[in-house]
Structure 1
Amino acid sequence: MSETRPTEAENDVITEAAAQWCMRLHEPDCTLQERDAFAVWLNTDPRHAVEYEAMLDIWDVSEHLSRPAPAEARVIALPAPRRTTWQRFAVAAAVTLLAVPVAAYSGWQLGWIPDAHERFTADTRAKTVTLPDGSQVELNLGTQLTFSNYKDERRVTLGKGEAFFKVSHDVSHPFLVQAAEGQVRVTGTQFNVWMYEDQVRVTLLEGSVLVTSNKHLSGDGLRLEPGMQARYKAGDYAAQISQTSTGMPDLAWRNGKLVLDNLSLADALPLINRYLDSPLSVADSATGKLRIGGVFNTREIDHLVTSLPKVLPVYLSRTTDGRPVLNARTSL
């Protein structure tokens, strides 16, 4: 018995429903009853989940779209729209563009709509992917990123994790990596971006990049040369620049290693927690000042956690919700 393929009309209905759910669920007044109804819809057909994921991609991309300026003859003073208003428009427009190639071409020409958009993930195994522009990206464990190709720029959004970029050179088509609230701008080079929660580190191996801690600030940012590293976190006015080795330890993950070079526990935990399902914390500042060093397998970081009490004067306890905490042992 042959399998019945969905008709184009059925696919259009699913696409439109996914767009409506995406917009509604992002509204602050969305009710629990509506969320329950969405869960029922999502589980009714496997195609629903696939199409909804596609709409979430469009929603994420729309956050970075340029707002079109009104015609000069009709410029009037209006309050700036909420981000969700623009995203609602982008999602609704995307549904229309799927069916109207001419409109999609116009959106591309104006720089509003990408002609390529892909999502890449590396969960329990690192991987190397080739982007549509020919750039290569190595993804560390637990990494998520998306790529969008616009007429005037190539844009990557690092959702979480760590990635090493070998960017295809194109001066007229700059390559942007957005991580937390900041941005890295290049034309062609090799560099590493590490992100944990709102902390970001950019390490340059070859070429040059411009780093800004807040992509909404004016100016091009701070320029890195090979062997330099920029660090920032959400809310920083500017990134902190330092000299670093382009080999170990920042790029050791490419060989499946985590290198801790005599770091305080406070500085080491963000590097360790990247590989843990349940993040580790310290009980107090005294515990955070203890130092740790060594080379560890990124696939066996759980073993590092359990062995810490054997190499440091600490013991493990648990919070009420089961998260592990390191406590310094008091001397007798």
Structure 2
Amino acid sequence: MNHTSHSADEYDAITDAAAHWCLRLQAEDCTTAERQAFEQWLAADPLHAQEYQAMLDIWQTADHLPRSATPGNVINLPRRRQSAWRHYASAAAIALVALPVGAWVGWEQGWLPNHYQYLESGDAISHVVLSDGSQVELNLGTELRFTNYKDQRRVTLVKGEAFFKVRHDSLHPFVVHAAQGQTRVTGTQFNVWKYEDQVKVTLLEGSVLVSSDANDSDGGYRLGPGMQASYQAGDYEPRLSQTYAHDTSLAWRNGKLILDNLSLAQALPQINRYLEQPLLLADENTGSIRISGIYDTKQIKRLVSNLPKVLPVYLTRNKDGSMLLNRISPPPARG
């Protein structure tokens, strides 16, 4: 089957979702609503069913690994099988629960993790301690997955924003994947913001390596405290900058969104992060209007409805239901 219509990032997201559903459907507390949501997800794209079946294949393969596996008789799978196991490794959480011996083989080979966590913050900021002892703070509407491998700790930031305090382990790097890039650390404090295919990394303490290409596993650009790196999916390299003394990137940890004299084109990705449906710009002229202010992250819908009261704009609705910001043209000058 040809999947060229999916980007690498979309393909990985589908694989992660398939692993999540494998895990949830086996859980005792899986609800009827979740099972209905799974059926809808399964029917949404033929690739969903294919990826889910691949997860089940991993379980079945692990079930047939020798129960007496020891360090002296680790199985060497063919190269193609190794690649498949690594690609679908998020499903290992299931195998680890049900098949400890088979999972041990995968752990020793570096294909499978020994721990998997799925985190979702909903409409409240969430604080979580990961299985490795690292701490993560999730902004509203944030979703991420954590898997612990023998050679690295891996986070996939599906959407939203998270602040990390990583437990130091120089032999076990902590890697955050967002869009098509990654941030690699061994122990530090940093923030990662993601909206659609845009990513911004802000470093507070320590150092990190940021790459806009996740395949660049050992390279990247090193940030020091007070630096930021921004990129979009497909960028050759990230854009680096120095934060200023009153940078507002982490205001969300206090429930605030601070817009400091930004154009609407710059502000909308930050605003849309908190909306179920994005607010759109009618044209570049509208996008050039500047906005400032401090807003409650739980009241961003109110901000949108109030924009015509504070800016020379009006709101219209597209046929698909999305809201459109339009600039009010000034009256013609009197001759």
TM-score by length of 1: 0.74
Query: 2:268 aligned with 1:269, yes or no?
Result: yes
Q: How has the CA–CA distance of structure 1 residues 247 and 254 changed in structure 2, closer, same or farther, with 3 Å as cutoff?
A: farther
1:1-332 alignment, distance < 5 Å: 46=32, 49=35, 99-217=98-216, 219-245=218-244, 248-332=247-331
Q: How has the CA–CA distance of structure 1 residues 315 and 86 changed in structure 2, closer, same or farther, with 3 Å as cutoff?
A: same
Aligned Cα root-mean-square deviation (Å): 3.3
Q: Would you say the 8 A contact 2:92–2:114 is kept in 1? A: no
Q: Which moved more, 1:241-250 or 1:308-317?
A: 241-250
Q: Would you say the 8 A contact 1:204–1:246 is kept in 2? A: no
Amino acid at match of 2:152: E
SS in 2 for 1:294: strand
Q: How has the CA–CA distance of structure 1 residues 303 and 143 changed in structure 2, closer, same or farther, with 3 Å as cutoff?
A: same
Superimposed CA distance per residue, residues 119-138 of structure 1 (whole angstroms, 9 cap, x where no aligned partner): 01001111100000111000
Q: Would you say the 8 A contact 1:248–1:259 is kept in 2? A: no
Q: How has the CA–CA distance of structure 1 residues 288 and 107 changed in structure 2, closer, same or farther, with 3 Å as cutoff?
A: same
Amino acid at match of 1:208: S
- Residue 38 of structure 1 corresponds to none
Superimposed CA distance per residue, residues 209-253 of structure 1 (whole angstroms, 9 cap, x where no aligned partner): 000001113651000001100000001000000011475310000
SS in 2 for 1:322: coil
- Residue 4 of structure 1 corresponds to none
Superimposed CA distance per residue, residues 46-89 of structure 1 (whole angstroms, 9 cap, x where no aligned partner): 49839x79x97x96xx9xxxxxxx979x88xxxx89x9x66897
Q: How has the CA–CA distance of structure 1 residues 254 and 282 changed in structure 2, closer, same or farther, with 3 Å as cutoff?
A: same
SS in 1 for 2:133: coil
Whole-angstrom CA distance in 1 between matches of 2:86 and 2:206: 35
- Residue 9 of structure 2 corresponds to none
Whole-angstrom CA distance in 2 between matches of 1:48 and 1:274: 24
1:153 Cα deviation from its structure 2 partner: 0.7
Whole-angstrom CA distance in 1 between matches of 2:277 and 2:86: 33
Whole-angstrom CA distance in 2 between matches of 1:45 and 1:203: 38
Superimposed CA distance per residue, residues 114-173 of structure 1 (whole angstroms, 9 cap, x where no aligned partner): 000010100111110000011100000000001101111101110100000000011111
1:177 Cα deviation from its structure 2 partner: 0.4
SS in 2 for 1:302: helix
Q: Would you say the 8 A contact 2:85–2:111 is kept in 1? A: no
SS in 2 for 1:210: strand
Whole-angstrom CA distance in 2 between matches of 1:326 and 1:118: 39
Q: Would you say the 8 A contact 1:191–1:206 is kept in 2? A: yes
Q: How has the CA–CA distance of structure 1 residues 92 and 177 changed in structure 2, closer, same or farther, with 3 Å as cutoff?
A: closer
Superimposed CA distance per residue, residues 70-109 of structure 1 (whole angstroms, 9 cap, x where no aligned partner): 979x88xxxx89x9x6689758987666544222111111
Amino acid at match of 1:101: P
Q: Which moved more, 1:240-249 or 1:322-331?
A: 240-249
Q: Would you say the 8 A contact 1:203–1:246 is kept in 2? A: no
1:331 Cα deviation from its structure 2 partner: 1.0
Amino acid at match of 1:159: V
Q: Would you say the 8 A contact 1:205–1:246 is kept in 2? A: no
Where does structure 2 lack aligned partners over 5 or more consecutive residues?
1-13, 19-29, 42-50, 59-74
Amino acid at match of 2:164: F
Whole-angstrom CA distance in 1 between matches of 2:293 and 2:95: 55
Q: Would you say the 8 A contact 2:93–2:116 is kept in 1? A: no
Q: Would you say the 8 A contact 2:93–2:115 is kept in 1? A: no
Q: Would you say the 8 A contact 2:134–2:165 is kept in 1? A: yes
SS in 2 for 1:268: helix
SS in 2 for 1:308: helix
Q: What is the percentage of aligned positions where both structures have the same residue?
A: 55
Whole-angstrom CA distance in 2 between matches of 1:92 and 1:175: 20
SS in 2 for 1:129: strand
Q: How has the CA–CA distance of structure 1 residues 286 and 48 changed in structure 2, closer, same or farther, with 3 Å as cutoff?
A: closer
SS in 2 for 1:260: strand
Whole-angstrom CA distance in 1 between matches of 2:308 and 2:178: 34
- Residue 44 of structure 2 corresponds to none
Q: Which moved more, 1:88-97 or 1:267-276?
A: 88-97
Whole-angstrom CA distance in 2 between matches of 1:152 and 1:198: 27
